[in-house]
Structure 1
């Protein structure tokens, strides 16, 4: 989960990384982590991540699902190692 949180902070999909608030994506990372078993593919993981950002912020702030493709691409190997 810490790796996922760091990944979200680095990519900063909604623009809240102010360099000193590294825990800013902790809650989102936790809810994504709870849903990881739903992800059978990298594309599924992209969907899960996007859905959680829409849930936490709203559709306009989260933006389109494609904005989360790189995050899912980098998170997928972490999930494969974990499970």
Structure 2
């Protein structure tokens, strides 16, 4: 996914990738320009991911409740 995102970015497109990135090493590998931490559940459905998950120390926006209409506006304002 990282390679594909980078390809489209280099072509001038905006790219949004939505996935769980559970460790600092994985986050560094992806090299995102803007990170939205969606922190709305205590435990995910995959035990192995839950076991390795480390809360991110660096992010650009922190979503704390499940209300996409509200958060989308706030995130868009921050990106501008």
Global fold match (TM > 0.5): no
Give the TM-score normalised by the residue count of structure 2: 0.30
Q: Looking at secondary structure, tell me which structure has more helix per residue.
A: 1
TM-score under structure 1 length normalisation: 0.29
